[in-house]
């Protein structure tokens, strides 16, 4: 199903996992283009993958999806969304705590950019337990994260942690 316009899926993707990928692919069905926008937060001191690494990994993962592009940004999300002509922000929901955070963020974004809609997509059930922080911790301790991330990400994590 193709919709109209451009949607922005903002995330840090440190690392990207099957939950992120699932939401992006499903969201892309409703828009002509989905921009997976990776936020380069200059205030975030502890990142595992630098912004360029995250962008390259995401580009490789989405290379076979014509409607999905990957970009980085470091400005207010609504400003970046406006700069690419987005009509909607895509947010993924996994657990109840996500709803409260996303609700507050969506309300703030609506105040800043009333023309932008926030669309929440529930993660498929098999991905609800996955989070980037959990993946980082498991991988750092030498655990197997292959059920949570694509092989390219598993390999990148092993290289990062020397496991």
Q: Rounded distance, CA 145 to CA 130, Å?
A: 10
**Distances from the Cα of 75 to the Cαs of 28, 88, 102, 146, in angstroms?**
23, 17, 19, 33
Based on the residue annotation, tell me whether 17 is a catalytic residue of this protein.
no
pTM across the whole model: 0.91
Active-site residue (options: 29, 44, 104, 129) = 44
Active-site residue (options: 17, 54, 94, 136) = 94
Based on the residue annotation, tell me whether 46 is a catalytic residue of this protein.
no
Categorize the per-residue pLDDT at 93 as very low, low, confident or very high, splitting at 50, 70 and 90: confident
Q: Rounded distance, CA 104 to CA 163, Å?
A: 39
Whole-number pLDDT of residue 4: 84
- pLDDT for residue 1 is more than 50: no
Active-site residue (options: 20, 54, 91, 136) = 20
Active-site residue (options: 28, 123, 132, 154) = 132
């Amino acid at each position: 199903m193709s919709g109209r316009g451009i949607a922005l899926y903002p995330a840090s993707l440190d690392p990207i996992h099957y939950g992120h990928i699932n939401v992006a692919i499903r969201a892309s069905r409703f828009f002509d283009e989905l921009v997976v926008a990776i936020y380069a937060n200059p205030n975030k001191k502890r990142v595992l993958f630098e912004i360029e690494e995250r962008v390259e990994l995401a580009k490789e993962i989405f290379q076979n999806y014509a409607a999905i592009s990957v970009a980085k940004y470091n400005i207010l999300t609504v400003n970046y969304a406006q700069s690419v002509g987005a009509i909607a922000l895509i947010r993924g929901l996994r657990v109840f705590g996500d709803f409260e955070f996303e609700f507050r963020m969506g309300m703030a974004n609506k105040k800043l950019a009333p023309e932008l809609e926030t669309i929440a997509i529930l993660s498929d059930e098999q991905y609800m337990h996955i989070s980037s922080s959990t993946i980082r911790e498991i991988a750092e301790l030498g655990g197997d994260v292959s059920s949570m991330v694509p092989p390219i990400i598993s390999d990148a994590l092993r290289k990062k942690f020397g496991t």
